[in-house]
Chains A and B, each alone.
Chain A
């Protein structure tokens, strides 16, 4: 069974640009969450999608947005990039069921803003 796939693995963007990251969850998983990982802040929750609806949202500015498609694939978009947006962005999917199911993570997209 294929794992969570994130593309691209690496990105370099310039301040002010926008970027779109993609996440394909494990087959059958309908919940997809996004996290930002930085050395100082650890893993911070961005948002979670379930069946094409945003179910939870973290404390990030409106420049960060996401969506989920009918096949459960998800994208996140960051507009007007800032240097501080440089981070590893991780996507995780969860199987349907109760809250006690663990999340499965992709390898992440390393975004560098210059």
Chain B
């Protein structure tokens, strides 16, 4: 069965600095990887996905993620953090076939002015 690990419960970064939110995964076969963001009292919003092709994926709000097959990782990055990026971030994976989308436990990002 597929699984996702987000090793950090909390990430703190100063505004203007680069940010990284880590994610590693485990699947049988090729992974389909997703990042979502959740603001307080809201549902999840889709940020970006990796299906195939270029290992660097660009998404919404200036976020990008790098797929690394050898390390089974899909870290979320942004060159310059904003206070408004403070939220809960979820990494998710689906494997081939009609399998469910499985989420990590989430990482709370706090950007400090």
Contacts and interface: CB of A to CB of B under 8 A. Distances in A.
Interface of A: 4, 33, 35, 41-45, 48, 50, 55-56, 58, 90, 92, 99-100, 102-108
Interface in B62-113: 90, 94-106
B101 A33 contact: yes
Given A106-B43, A107-B42, A108-B43, A99 B97 contact: yes
A90 B45 CA distance: 12
Given A42-B106, A43-B90, A43-B106, A103 B43 contact: no
Interface of B: 32, 34, 36, 41-46, 49, 51, 90, 94-106
A49 to B, nearest CB: 11
Contacts, number: 57
B44 A100 contact: no
Contacts of A33: 100-101
B62 to A, nearest CB: 18
A104 B103 contact: no
B109 to A, nearest CB: 15
Contacts of A43: 44, 90, 103, 105-106
Contacts of A107: 41-43
B45 A99 contact: no
Contacts of B44: 43, 90, 92, 105
B71 to A, nearest CB: 22
18 contacts: A33-B100, A43-B90, A43-B105, A43-B106, A45-B101, A50-B98, A58-B100, A99-B32, A99-B94, A99-B95, A99-B97, A102-B46, A103-B34, A103-B101, A105-B45, A106-B43, A107-B41, A107-B43
A66 B90 CA distance: 25
Contacts of A90: 43-44
